[in-house]
């Protein structure tokens, strides 16, 4: 690991559970932010397909993502096609905001550098629109689908203190070396097991449809009412 490069923090670290702060656009060209971006792209290249600043313990709204032919070489062509996984060059997004495009979703196994050694099935929007600022402060506005859309939703979740384990089909949670074992059967208490692949039904909750403060308050009220 390069000099001064931090380790990816693991689940249980408070930095992964807080809502990260927006970056002041006037500070993007500062040494602090540029060094953070350099460190994040280096860790992402070495370790995975995406990284959010809180995973290095920095509570700022910065994500990086990249997928390469080499990085996906352990995924079969059939799985790659089903996941709509295509290589794309390194993207740096500051203060990203996602919005879902359509209702379609996809359920696939997903992992996280901060939940080292495990995987679980997570349903995500198949398509999202992403707006934010690039590493040079320029406007970023694009639509992503398939695996790239999944990575974006996973990384933006990190900025909101959310881990994939909060959204996973919990009975599919497993060690990474068990990824090819069958999905669990239907269960009398936990219901029908998820089917891998795409669906026309939107995910129940997602980083791409963040709740407003009012929504959160209303939910809290409803929760209190139900308990009575
Ligand atoms: Zn992660």
Q: How high is the mean pLDDT of the chain?
A: 92
In sequence order, which residues have a C-beta less than 8 Å from that of residue 121 and are 6 or more positions away?
A: 107, 108, 109, 110, 168, 169, 172, 183, 194, 196
Q: What's this model's pTM, rounded to 2 decimal places?
A: 0.90
Distance 189 CA to ligand 1 centre (A): 29
How many whole angstroms from 111 Cα to the centroid of ligand 1?
Answer: 7
Phi first, then psi, for residue 146 (nearest 5°) are 60, -135
Q: Please give the distance, rounded to the nearest whole angstrom, from the Cα atom of residue 115 to the centre of ligand 1.
A: 7
Is 227's pLDDT higher than 70? no
Check whether 1 has a pLDDT greater than 50: no
**Rounded distance between C-alpha atoms, residue 125 and residue 148, angstroms:** 11
pLDDT of amino acid 223: 60
List the catalytic residues: 155
User: How many A from CA of 228 to the centre of ligand 1?
Assistant: 37
Rg (CA), the chain: 18
Q: Report d(CA 206, CA 192) in Å as an integer.
A: 21
pLDDT tens for 59-118 read: 999 999 999 999 899 899 999 999 999 999 999 999 999 999 999 999 999 999 999 999
**Residues 6 or more apart in contact with residue 214 via CB below 8 angstroms:** none
Which residues share a beta bridge with 133? 94, 139
Residue 132's beta-bridge partner residues?
140
Domains of the chain: 14-227 (3.90.45.10)
What average pLDDT score do residues 137-141 get? Answer: 98
In total, the chain counts a number of residues equal to 228
pLDDT band for 206, please (50, 70, 90 cuts): confident
Tell me what the mean pLDDT of segment 203-209 comes to: 80
């Amino acid at each position: 690991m390069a000099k001064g490069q931090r380790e990816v923090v693991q689940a249980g670290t408070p930095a992964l559970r807080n809502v990260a702060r927006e970056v002041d656009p006037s500070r993007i060209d500062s040494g602090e932010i540029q060094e953070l971006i350099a460190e994040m792209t280096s860790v992402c290249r070495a370790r995975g397909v995406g990284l959010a600043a809180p995973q290095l313990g920095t509570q700022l709204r910065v994500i990086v993502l990249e997928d390469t032919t080499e990085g996906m070489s352990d995924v079969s062509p059939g799985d790659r096609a089903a996941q709509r996984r295509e290589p794309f060059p390194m993207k740096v997004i500051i203060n990203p905001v996602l919005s879902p495009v359509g209702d379609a979703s996809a359920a696939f196994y997903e992992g996280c550098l901060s939940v080292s050694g495990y995987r679980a099935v997570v349903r995500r929007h198949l398509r999202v629109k992403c707006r934010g600022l690039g590493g040079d402060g320029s406007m970023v506005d694009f639509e992503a689908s398939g695996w790239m859309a999944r990575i974006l939703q996973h990384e933006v979740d990190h900025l909101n203190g959310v881990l994939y384990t909060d959204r996973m089909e919990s009975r599919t949670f497993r060690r990474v070396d068990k990824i090819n074992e069958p999905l669990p059967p239907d269960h009398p208490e936990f219901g029908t097991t998820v089917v891998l692949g795409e669906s026309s039904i939107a995910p129940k909750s997602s980083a791409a449809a963040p709740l407003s403060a009012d929504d959160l308050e209303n939910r809290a009220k409803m929760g209190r009412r139900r308990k009575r």
